[in-house]
Structure 1
Amino acid sequence: MLKRLAALTLLVVAFCAAPLAGSAFAQSADPENTLLLQLKDGTVTVRLRPDLAPNHAERLKTLARQGFYDGVPFHRVIDGFMAQTGDPTGTGMGGSDLPDLKAEFSSEPFVRGVVGMARSSNPDSANSQFFIMFAPAPGLDGQYTVVGEVVDGMEYVDNIKKGSRSANGTVDNPDKLISMRVAADQ
């Protein structure tokens, strides 16, 4: 009886502590669908959502494994809205050499910490650029592809240098995405 009670107590403690474990817990949950973004202040852990956007999740992993995102600037950062990166030119007009992706829209809402794919006015134009939400933006719901969510390190996203509102969030001397890796490769 005592052994059973001890085992049950250990299980309850492990279950309750799991959310507190941060990125270590997220990585062990599904390392193949976990991205580690190294920012100037620390590591951000993103859980990809291949259940919502399998092609977009695969694209982010492919480019991360190629080192595509290393040193890429956060070229558009709007306080209270989102931080956008993934364009090596830093202009918002660039992308990878891979073909654009067809939209994978879902009913998942754009709330704080959600990672979405940037695109032009053409819904099927997402390529390499993505953004992380600072706050809810219901106007994006069903209009952009949700590809993941921050599960640890959102405070480091909050610290990304913000751009000018008059310049639609364009950032002078922007912070950079130091590196982005798939947790399974660590």
Structure 2
Amino acid sequence: MGFFLEPVYTPEYEVVGDEVAVFETSKGTIKARLDGAGAPIHVANFCELAGSGFYDGLKFHRYVPDFVIQGGCPNTRDMTPEQVAAGVAGPDGMPGTGGPGYRIKHEYDTNPRNSHVDGALAMARSQNPDSAGSQFYFCLGAQHFLDPNYTVFGNTIEGLDVVKSLRAGDVIESIRIEHAE
């Protein structure tokens, strides 16, 4: 029995270059400017998922103090915030193990701005470099040791205080894409 690897997906969304992701969370609003020039596949993928409502109602499932707050796992959709915070399995599996059913190609070695600064928005992945899908994280402080292995595709421009207040179980009410003026 071989190891199943989901197909590599190429998003159809056409990146304009001025995308801003607006995260409405149970703790407040966060705005992140997306880096369509440096990470066009990641930005297009994120915009498609956000536009389809994929993230609506998911919970942040991983909080590591002074490191990251992570969300975007569909397994958290039908779980209560308390269940996610407790780290128990939900009806669709363990938080942190789900995805969109495909994976995207990494861009960490081609993005000239791939810098895990405080408030950076990046994609989580498994051991395979091309295994990112829907799970993302915000850096809680600079994490430059991640630069050579994980793709940064945006940076927080408003609501860094909200990012720093998030914990496992907090709800992603919605993510919408706006265009900077």
TM-score range, shorter chain: 0.7 to 0.9
The structure with the larger Rg is 1
SS, match of residue 104 in structure 1: coil
The separation in 2 between residues aligned to 1:40 and 1:156, in whole angstroms, is 10
Counterpart of 1:112 in structure 2 is 118
Structure 2 residue aligned with 1:81? 67
Letter in 1 for 2:164: D
TM superposition shift of 1:52: 1.1
Q: Is 2:59 the partner of 1:53? A: no
CA deviations over 1:47-103 (Å, ceiling 9, x no partner): 000111101000110000000000111000111001100101031110113x21111
Q: Which residue of 2 aligns with 1:183?
A: 178
Identify unmatched segments of 5+ residues in structure 2.
1-15, 77-94
User: How far, CA to CA, are the matches of 2:20 and 2:97 in structure 1?
Assistant: 27
CA displacement, residues 89-146 of structure 1 (integer Å, 9 cap, x when unaligned): 031110113x211110135221101001000010000001100001111210121001
Aligned length: 143
1:92 equivalenced with 2:96 (yes/no): yes
Q: Give 1 or 2: higher helix fraction.
A: 1
Q: Measure, in 2, the Cα distance between the counterparts of 1:134 and 1:50.
A: 22
Instruction: Give ranges in structure 1 of 5+ residues lacking alignment.
Output: 1-29, 162-170
d(CA) in 2 for partners of 1:75, 1:140: 20
Q: Secondary structure at the match of 2:74?
A: coil
Moved over 6 A (4+): none
Match of 1:71 among 57, 77, 84: 57
RMSD of Structure 2 on Structure 1 (CA): 1.5
Alignment partners' CA distance in 2, 1:110 and 1:118: 12
1:38 has 2:24 as partner: yes
CA contact 2:17–2:36 (8 Å) conserved in 1: no
Tell me if the contact between 2:50 and 2:175 (Cα under 8 Å) persists in the aligned partners.
yes
Q: Which residue of 2 aligns with 1:142?
A: 148
Q: For the Cα contact (< 8 Å) 1:31–1:183, is it kept in 2?
A: no
- One-letter amino acid of the counterpart of residue 135, structure 2: Q
Aligned to 1:62: 48
State how far apart, in whole Å, the 1-side matches of 2:41 and 2:17 are: 17
| Structure 1 contact 76–83 (Cα < 8 Å) conserved | yes
